[in-house]
Amino acid sequence: MKITFLIHDIYGIGGTNRTTLNLAAALAGRHEVTIVSVRRHRTHPRFDIDPRVTVLPLVDVRKDSADLADPLLHERSLAFPVAEKRYHQYSRLTDHRVERYLGDAEADVITGTRAGINVYVARFAPPSALRIAQEHLTHDTHTKKLRTQLARQYRDLDALVTTTEADAAIYRAKMRLPGVRVLAVPNGVPDPGLPPADAGTRVVAAAGRLTRGKRFDLLIEAFAEVAAKHPDWTLRIYGAGPEKDRLQQLIDERSLGGRAVLMGVVSPIEAEFAKASIVASASDAESFGMTLVEAMRCGVPVVSTDCPLGPAEIIHDGVDGRLVPTGDRRALATALLDLIADEPARRRMGRAARRGALRYDPSRIVHTYEDLFADLDATRHSRASARHKSKWHGLAAHALRH
Protein backbone atom coordinates (compact mmCIF):
# COMPACT_ATOMS: atom_id res chain seq x y z
CA MET A 1 0.00 0.00 0.00
CA LYS A 2 0.96 3.63 -0.47
CA ILE A 3 0.54 5.44 2.84
CA THR A 4 0.91 9.21 3.29
CA PHE A 5 1.13 11.14 6.55
CA LEU A 6 0.39 14.87 6.43
CA ILE A 7 2.10 16.68 9.30
CA HIS A 8 2.65 20.29 10.39
CA ASP A 9 6.49 20.42 10.36
CA ILE A 10 8.47 17.19 10.55
CA TYR A 11 11.69 19.22 10.87
CA GLY A 12 10.89 20.26 14.44
CA ILE A 13 10.74 18.49 17.78
CA GLY A 14 7.65 17.26 19.56
CA GLY A 15 5.60 14.24 20.51
CA THR A 16 3.53 14.13 17.31
CA ASN A 17 6.68 14.13 15.18
CA ARG A 18 8.25 11.39 17.26
CA THR A 19 5.20 9.12 17.21
CA THR A 20 4.59 9.69 13.51
CA LEU A 21 8.18 8.76 12.71
CA ASN A 22 7.90 5.63 14.86
CA LEU A 23 4.76 4.52 13.04
CA ALA A 24 6.09 5.47 9.60
CA ALA A 25 9.27 3.46 10.16
CA ALA A 26 7.31 0.42 11.29
CA LEU A 27 4.96 0.64 8.29
CA ALA A 28 7.86 1.15 5.89
CA GLY A 29 8.88 -2.45 6.37
CA ARG A 30 5.75 -3.54 4.48
CA HIS A 31 4.44 -0.47 2.65
CA GLU A 32 5.50 2.60 0.66
CA VAL A 33 5.42 5.46 3.17
CA THR A 34 5.64 9.21 2.58
CA ILE A 35 5.62 11.98 5.18
CA VAL A 36 4.40 15.26 3.73
CA SER A 37 5.51 18.19 5.87
CA VAL A 38 3.29 21.22 5.29
CA ARG A 39 6.06 23.51 6.51
CA ARG A 40 9.85 23.33 6.54
CA HIS A 41 11.66 25.72 8.87
CA ARG A 42 15.14 24.13 8.98
CA THR A 43 17.46 22.17 6.73
CA HIS A 44 17.76 18.95 8.73
CA PRO A 45 15.08 17.27 10.88
CA ARG A 46 15.80 17.10 14.59
CA PHE A 47 14.80 13.43 14.75
CA ASP A 48 16.39 10.64 12.72
CA ILE A 49 14.18 9.47 9.87
CA ASP A 50 14.14 5.91 8.60
CA PRO A 51 15.77 5.95 5.13
CA ARG A 52 12.86 3.87 3.77
CA VAL A 53 10.49 6.78 4.48
CA THR A 54 10.18 9.55 1.88
CA VAL A 55 9.92 13.11 3.24
CA LEU A 56 8.37 15.84 1.11
CA PRO A 57 8.06 19.47 2.32
CA LEU A 58 5.43 21.71 0.72
CA VAL A 59 6.17 25.25 1.95
CA ASP A 60 9.72 26.30 2.74
CA VAL A 61 9.96 29.12 5.29
CA ARG A 62 13.73 28.97 5.79
CA LYS A 63 15.68 32.18 5.38
CA ASP A 64 16.23 33.05 1.69
CA SER A 65 13.61 30.54 0.53
CA ALA A 66 11.80 31.55 -2.65
CA ASP A 67 8.51 30.79 -0.91
CA LEU A 68 8.98 33.83 1.34
CA ALA A 69 8.46 36.08 -1.68
CA ASP A 70 5.24 34.38 -2.75
CA PRO A 71 2.35 36.80 -2.06
CA LEU A 72 0.06 33.87 -1.18
CA LEU A 73 2.24 33.19 1.87
CA HIS A 74 1.04 36.48 3.34
CA GLU A 75 -2.67 35.91 2.75
CA ARG A 76 -4.72 34.21 5.41
CA SER A 77 -5.70 30.60 4.96
CA LEU A 78 -9.26 29.99 3.81
CA ALA A 79 -9.25 26.25 4.51
CA PHE A 80 -7.34 25.77 7.78
CA PRO A 81 -9.73 26.28 10.74
CA VAL A 82 -9.37 29.73 12.29
CA ALA A 83 -9.82 28.38 15.82
CA GLU A 84 -6.84 26.02 15.46
CA LYS A 85 -3.79 27.01 17.50
CA ARG A 86 -1.48 26.98 14.46
CA TYR A 87 -3.74 29.08 12.24
CA HIS A 88 -1.27 31.99 12.16
CA GLN A 89 1.28 29.71 10.45
CA TYR A 90 -1.07 28.80 7.61
CA SER A 91 -1.83 30.79 4.48
CA ARG A 92 -3.34 30.69 1.01
CA LEU A 93 -0.01 29.22 -0.08
CA THR A 94 -0.29 26.27 2.32
CA ASP A 95 -3.92 25.81 1.23
CA HIS A 96 -2.87 25.78 -2.42
CA ARG A 97 0.13 23.46 -1.99
CA VAL A 98 -1.78 20.95 0.16
CA GLU A 99 -4.81 20.94 -2.14
CA ARG A 100 -2.63 20.41 -5.20
CA TYR A 101 -0.56 17.66 -3.59
CA LEU A 102 -3.51 15.72 -2.20
CA GLY A 103 -5.49 16.16 -5.39
CA ASP A 104 -2.69 14.52 -7.36
CA ALA A 105 -1.80 11.93 -4.72
CA GLU A 106 -2.01 8.28 -5.62
CA ALA A 107 -1.94 7.18 -1.99
CA ASP A 108 -4.17 4.40 -0.73
CA VAL A 109 -4.25 5.93 2.76
CA ILE A 110 -3.85 9.59 3.76
CA THR A 111 -3.53 10.34 7.46
CA GLY A 112 -3.65 13.75 9.12
CA THR A 113 -1.85 14.31 12.41
CA ARG A 114 -3.45 17.39 14.04
CA ALA A 115 -6.89 18.96 14.01
CA GLY A 116 -6.34 21.61 11.33
CA ILE A 117 -4.45 19.25 9.08
CA ASN A 118 -7.22 16.68 9.49
CA VAL A 119 -9.52 19.32 8.00
CA TYR A 120 -7.17 19.56 5.02
CA VAL A 121 -7.44 15.78 4.59
CA ALA A 122 -11.23 15.87 4.83
CA ARG A 123 -11.49 18.69 2.29
CA PHE A 124 -8.77 17.88 -0.23
CA ALA A 125 -7.93 14.16 -0.13
CA PRO A 126 -9.45 12.19 -3.02
CA PRO A 127 -12.35 9.86 -2.18
CA SER A 128 -10.36 6.99 -3.66
CA ALA A 129 -8.01 7.16 -0.64
CA LEU A 130 -8.86 6.17 2.90
CA ARG A 131 -8.95 9.43 4.85
CA ILE A 132 -7.88 9.08 8.47
CA ALA A 133 -7.58 11.73 11.19
CA GLN A 134 -5.24 11.17 14.11
CA GLU A 135 -5.92 13.23 17.23
CA HIS A 136 -2.77 13.61 19.30
CA LEU A 137 -4.53 16.05 21.62
CA THR A 138 -7.94 15.35 23.13
CA HIS A 139 -11.54 16.32 22.39
CA ASP A 140 -11.84 18.49 25.48
CA THR A 141 -8.50 20.21 24.83
CA HIS A 142 -9.98 21.82 21.73
CA THR A 143 -12.04 24.98 22.15
CA LYS A 144 -15.78 24.81 21.64
CA LYS A 145 -15.42 26.88 18.47
CA LEU A 146 -12.86 24.47 17.02
CA ARG A 147 -14.93 21.42 17.96
CA THR A 148 -17.87 22.92 16.07
CA GLN A 149 -15.71 23.35 12.97
CA LEU A 150 -14.28 19.85 13.29
CA ALA A 151 -17.71 18.26 13.68
CA ARG A 152 -18.66 19.55 10.24
CA GLN A 153 -15.44 18.62 8.48
CA TYR A 154 -14.72 15.27 10.14
CA ARG A 155 -17.90 13.79 8.63
CA ASP A 156 -16.04 13.41 5.34
CA LEU A 157 -13.38 11.19 6.89
CA ASP A 158 -13.24 7.41 7.01
CA ALA A 159 -11.82 7.13 10.53
CA LEU A 160 -10.89 9.19 13.56
CA VAL A 161 -8.11 7.68 15.66
CA THR A 162 -7.41 8.81 19.22
CA THR A 163 -4.56 7.63 21.42
CA THR A 164 -6.75 6.45 24.32
CA GLU A 165 -10.04 4.62 24.59
CA ALA A 166 -11.24 7.24 27.08
CA ASP A 167 -10.88 9.98 24.47
CA ALA A 168 -12.48 7.84 21.75
CA ALA A 169 -15.49 7.38 24.02
CA ILE A 170 -15.78 11.15 24.47
CA TYR A 171 -15.72 11.69 20.70
CA ARG A 172 -18.40 9.04 20.20
CA ALA A 173 -20.58 10.68 22.82
CA LYS A 174 -20.06 14.33 21.90
CA MET A 175 -19.32 14.47 18.16
CA ARG A 176 -21.80 12.72 15.90
CA LEU A 177 -19.89 11.35 12.90
CA PRO A 178 -22.06 8.93 10.89
CA GLY A 179 -20.06 6.59 8.70
CA VAL A 180 -16.79 7.49 10.45
CA ARG A 181 -15.06 4.79 12.46
CA VAL A 182 -13.95 6.25 15.82
CA LEU A 183 -11.40 4.14 17.66
CA ALA A 184 -8.33 4.27 19.87
CA VAL A 185 -4.89 3.14 18.75
CA PRO A 186 -2.06 3.91 21.18
CA ASN A 187 1.21 5.41 20.05
CA GLY A 188 3.94 2.94 19.21
CA VAL A 189 7.17 3.10 21.20
CA PRO A 190 10.12 1.10 19.85
CA ASP A 191 12.50 -1.03 21.88
CA PRO A 192 15.28 1.35 23.01
CA GLY A 193 17.82 -1.42 22.61
CA LEU A 194 19.16 -0.87 26.12
CA PRO A 195 19.70 -3.32 28.99
CA PRO A 196 17.08 -3.06 31.76
CA ALA A 197 17.56 -0.13 34.10
CA ASP A 198 19.42 -0.69 37.36
CA ALA A 199 16.87 -0.11 40.10
CA GLY A 200 19.74 0.55 42.51
CA THR A 201 20.49 4.06 41.28
CA ARG A 202 19.29 6.91 43.47
CA VAL A 203 17.71 8.95 40.71
CA VAL A 204 14.15 10.05 39.98
CA ALA A 205 13.75 11.27 36.39
CA ALA A 206 11.04 13.21 34.60
CA ALA A 207 10.72 14.62 31.09
CA GLY A 208 8.44 16.84 29.07
CA ARG A 209 7.88 20.38 27.93
CA LEU A 210 8.29 22.79 30.84
CA THR A 211 4.75 24.16 30.88
CA ARG A 212 2.25 24.72 33.68
CA GLY A 213 0.09 21.76 32.70
CA LYS A 214 2.98 19.33 33.20
CA ARG A 215 3.15 20.41 36.87
CA PHE A 216 6.88 20.07 37.35
CA ASP A 217 6.39 22.55 40.19
CA LEU A 218 4.27 19.95 42.01
CA LEU A 219 6.95 17.32 41.40
CA ILE A 220 9.67 19.60 42.80
CA GLU A 221 7.55 20.29 45.88
CA ALA A 222 6.98 16.56 46.36
CA PHE A 223 10.67 15.85 45.89
CA ALA A 224 11.49 18.37 48.62
CA GLU A 225 9.84 15.92 51.03
CA VAL A 226 11.85 13.07 49.53
CA ALA A 227 15.10 15.00 49.81
CA ALA A 228 14.50 15.70 53.51
CA LYS A 229 14.39 11.96 54.24
CA HIS A 230 16.74 10.66 51.54
CA PRO A 231 19.47 13.25 50.94
CA ASP A 232 21.34 10.86 48.62
CA TRP A 233 18.56 10.87 45.98
CA THR A 234 18.38 13.35 43.10
CA LEU A 235 15.67 14.56 40.71
CA ARG A 236 16.55 15.11 37.05
CA ILE A 237 14.05 16.97 34.87
CA TYR A 238 14.58 16.85 31.10
CA GLY A 239 12.98 19.37 28.78
CA ALA A 240 12.66 23.03 27.86
CA GLY A 241 9.85 25.53 27.91
CA PRO A 242 8.44 28.77 29.31
CA GLU A 243 8.40 27.54 32.93
CA LYS A 244 12.16 27.00 33.13
CA ASP A 245 13.00 30.15 35.11
CA ARG A 246 10.07 29.71 37.52
CA LEU A 247 11.03 26.08 38.17
CA GLN A 248 14.66 27.03 38.78
CA GLN A 249 13.50 29.67 41.24
CA LEU A 250 11.41 27.06 43.06
CA ILE A 251 14.40 24.73 43.23
CA ASP A 252 16.49 27.52 44.73
CA GLU A 253 13.76 28.50 47.21
CA ARG A 254 13.53 24.89 48.44
CA SER A 255 17.34 24.68 48.77
CA LEU A 256 17.42 21.83 46.28
CA GLY A 257 20.34 23.10 44.24
CA GLY A 258 22.34 20.13 43.00
CA ARG A 259 19.60 17.77 44.19
CA ALA A 260 16.89 18.75 41.70
CA VAL A 261 18.39 19.64 38.35
CA LEU A 262 16.91 20.99 35.12
CA MET A 263 18.84 18.97 32.56
CA GLY A 264 17.64 20.60 29.33
CA VAL A 265 16.49 18.72 26.25
CA VAL A 266 17.90 15.26 25.62
CA SER A 267 16.71 13.21 22.66
CA PRO A 268 16.29 10.32 22.59
CA ILE A 269 15.40 10.26 26.28
CA GLU A 270 15.52 6.52 26.93
CA ALA A 271 19.23 6.38 27.79
CA GLU A 272 18.60 8.93 30.55
CA PHE A 273 15.56 7.06 31.85
CA ALA A 274 17.68 3.90 32.01
CA LYS A 275 19.94 5.70 34.51
CA ALA A 276 17.00 6.25 36.89
CA SER A 277 15.23 3.97 39.36
CA ILE A 278 11.91 5.83 39.12
CA VAL A 279 10.34 8.05 36.47
CA ALA A 280 7.71 10.52 37.65
CA SER A 281 4.91 12.47 35.98
CA ALA A 282 2.78 15.07 37.76
CA SER A 283 0.70 16.28 34.79
CA ASP A 284 -2.79 17.72 35.14
CA ALA A 285 -3.73 16.09 31.81
CA GLU A 286 -2.18 13.89 29.14
CA SER A 287 -3.43 13.01 25.69
CA PHE A 288 -1.46 9.76 25.95
CA GLY A 289 1.74 9.73 28.00
CA MET A 290 4.68 8.90 25.75
CA THR A 291 7.28 9.37 28.49
CA LEU A 292 5.48 6.83 30.66
CA VAL A 293 5.78 4.14 28.00
CA GLU A 294 9.36 5.13 27.13
CA ALA A 295 10.32 4.69 30.79
CA MET A 296 8.52 1.35 31.03
CA ARG A 297 10.29 0.06 27.91
CA CYS A 298 13.53 0.74 29.80
CA GLY A 299 12.31 -1.32 32.75
CA VAL A 300 11.67 1.68 35.02
CA PRO A 301 8.52 1.90 37.15
CA VAL A 302 6.55 5.13 36.82
CA VAL A 303 4.82 7.18 39.49
CA SER A 304 2.16 9.27 37.75
CA THR A 305 -0.84 11.36 38.54
CA ASP A 306 -4.05 9.61 37.50
CA CYS A 307 -4.92 12.47 35.19
CA PRO A 308 -7.15 12.44 32.16
CA LEU A 309 -6.76 10.59 29.86
CA GLY A 310 -3.75 8.35 29.33
CA PRO A 311 -1.96 7.16 32.49
CA ALA A 312 -4.69 4.82 33.75
CA GLU A 313 -4.64 2.99 30.41
CA ILE A 314 -0.87 2.59 30.58
CA ILE A 315 -0.03 1.93 34.25
CA HIS A 316 -1.44 -0.92 36.35
CA ASP A 317 -1.33 0.60 39.82
CA GLY A 318 0.85 -1.41 42.17
CA VAL A 319 1.96 -3.78 39.40
CA ASP A 320 4.20 -1.80 37.02
CA GLY A 321 3.94 1.65 38.60
CA ARG A 322 1.87 3.85 40.86
CA LEU A 323 -1.08 6.16 40.18
CA VAL A 324 -1.82 9.05 42.55
CA PRO A 325 -4.56 11.71 42.58
CA THR A 326 -3.99 14.71 40.31
CA GLY A 327 -2.61 17.78 42.06
CA ASP A 328 -1.93 15.93 45.35
CA ARG A 329 1.61 16.75 46.42
CA ARG A 330 1.48 14.59 49.53
CA ALA A 331 0.24 11.52 47.64
CA LEU A 332 2.94 12.00 45.01
CA ALA A 333 5.64 12.31 47.67
CA THR A 334 4.33 9.27 49.54
CA ALA A 335 4.37 7.10 46.41
CA LEU A 336 7.94 8.16 45.65
CA LEU A 337 9.01 7.52 49.24
CA ASP A 338 7.39 4.07 49.24
CA LEU A 339 9.32 2.99 46.14
CA ILE A 340 12.54 4.59 47.34
CA ALA A 341 12.31 2.60 50.57
CA ASP A 342 11.56 -0.69 48.80
CA GLU A 343 14.21 -1.65 46.23
CA PRO A 344 12.76 -5.16 45.68
CA ALA A 345 9.43 -3.56 44.76
CA ARG A 346 11.19 -1.22 42.33
CA ARG A 347 12.87 -4.15 40.65
CA ARG A 348 9.64 -6.18 40.52
CA MET A 349 7.66 -3.27 39.08
CA GLY A 350 10.46 -2.49 36.62
CA ARG A 351 10.35 -6.03 35.24
CA ALA A 352 6.56 -5.86 34.99
CA ALA A 353 6.77 -2.46 33.28
CA ARG A 354 9.18 -3.80 30.66
CA ARG A 355 6.88 -6.76 29.93
CA GLY A 356 3.71 -4.67 29.90
CA ALA A 357 5.15 -2.06 27.56
CA LEU A 358 5.54 -4.69 24.85
CA ARG A 359 1.93 -3.98 23.90
CA TYR A 360 3.14 -0.63 22.54
CA ASP A 361 5.75 -2.15 20.26
CA PRO A 362 5.37 -0.55 16.82
CA SER A 363 5.07 -3.97 15.16
CA ARG A 364 1.86 -4.55 17.12
CA ILE A 365 0.56 -1.07 16.35
CA VAL A 366 1.21 -1.66 12.64
CA HIS A 367 -0.99 -4.75 12.68
CA THR A 368 -3.76 -2.73 14.31
CA TYR A 369 -3.54 -0.11 11.57
CA GLU A 370 -3.43 -2.72 8.82
CA ASP A 371 -6.58 -4.31 10.24
CA LEU A 372 -8.17 -0.86 10.28
CA PHE A 373 -7.24 -0.21 6.65
CA ALA A 374 -8.75 -3.53 5.58
CA ASP A 375 -11.94 -2.91 7.55
CA LEU A 376 -12.37 0.62 6.20
CA ASP A 377 -11.87 -0.58 2.65
CA ALA A 378 -14.40 -3.39 3.10
CA THR A 379 -17.04 -1.09 4.60
CA ARG A 380 -16.72 1.87 2.21
CA HIS A 381 -20.21 1.49 0.74
CA SER A 382 -22.07 0.83 3.99
CA ARG A 383 -20.38 3.77 5.72
CA ALA A 384 -21.03 6.08 2.75
CA SER A 385 -24.69 5.06 2.89
CA ALA A 386 -24.85 5.86 6.59
CA ARG A 387 -23.28 9.24 5.92
CA HIS A 388 -25.72 10.11 3.12
CA LYS A 389 -28.76 8.97 5.14
CA SER A 390 -27.70 11.14 8.04
CA LYS A 391 -27.18 14.11 5.73
CA TRP A 392 -30.63 13.79 4.17
CA HIS A 393 -32.32 13.26 7.52
CA GLY A 394 -30.63 16.41 8.74
CA LEU A 395 -31.77 18.40 5.70
CA ALA A 396 -35.33 17.08 6.10
CA ALA A 397 -35.40 17.97 9.79
CA HIS A 398 -34.09 21.46 9.01
CA ALA A 399 -36.81 21.95 6.36
CA LEU A 400 -39.55 20.88 8.77
CA ARG A 401 -38.33 23.33 11.39
CA HIS A 402 -38.40 26.19 8.89
Please report, for the domain that includes residue 13, its CATH number.
Answer: 3.40.50.2000
Q: Beta strand pairing status for 54-60 and 234-238?
A: unpaired
Angle at which helix 362-378 crosses helix 380-401, to 10 degrees, equals 60
Both 28 and 111 in a single domain?
yes
Let me know whether 49 and 149 are in one domain: yes
- Please name the amino acid found at residue 119: V
Residue 295 — pLDDT band, cuts 50, 70, 90?
A: very high
Q: Do 233 and 199 contact (CB within 8 A), yes or no?
A: no
Is the pLDDT at 267 greater than 90, yes or no?
A: no
**Are residues 140 and 233 located together in one domain of the fold?**
no
> Mean pLDDT, to the nearest integer, of 75-100?
97
Residues 107 and 240 placed together within one structural domain of the fold: no
- Identify whether 195 is part of a domain: no
Residues 20 and 64 in one domain: yes
- Confidence band, pLDDT 50/70/90 cuts, at residue 261: very high
Same domain? For 15 and 163 the reply is: yes
Q: Residue 213: exposed, middle, or buried by beta-carbon count in 10 A (0-12, 13-18, 19+)?
A: middle
The whole-angstrom separation of Cα 80 and Cα 225 is 48
> Does residue 209 belong to any structural domain of this protein?
yes
Instruction: Compute the residue count for the chain.
Output: 402
Contact 189/22 with Cβ under 8 angstroms? yes
- Is 210 found in the same domain as 72? no
* Residue 372 shares a structural domain with residue 265: no
C-alpha span between 57 and 41 (Å, rounded): 10
- Where in the sequence is the domain holding 241, given as residue range(s)? 203-359
The pLDDT of residue 393: 60
How many structural domains comprise the chain? 2
Question: Cis peptide leading into 81, omega within 30 of 0?
Answer: no
Contact assessment for residue 317 and residue 301, using Cβ atoms and an 8 Å cutoff: no
156 and 226 share one domain: no
Helices (H), 198-243: 216-229
156 and 13 both lie in a single domain: yes
Residues 296-353 have pLDDT tens digits of 999 999 999 999 888 999 999 999 999 999 999 999 999 999 999 999 999 999 999 9
- Confirm whether 154 is domain-assigned: yes
Could you read off the pLDDT of 166-221 as tens digits, one per residue? 999 999 999 999 999 999 999 999 999 999 888 899 999 999 999 999 999 999 99
**300 in a structural domain:** yes
φ/ψ bin of 193: left (φ > 0), alpha (ψ from -120 to 50), beta (otherwise)? left
Does residue 173 sit in the same domain as residue 276? no
Confidence of residue 387 (pLDDT cuts 50, 70, 90): confident
Domain membership flag for residue 198: no
Whether residues 280 and 328 share a domain: the answer is yes
pLDDT score recorded for residue 268: 86
Asked whether residue 194 is assigned to any structural domain, the reply reads: no
Q: What is the pLDDT of residue 15?
A: 86
Position 296 in a domain = yes
Q: Is residue 402 part of a domain?
A: no
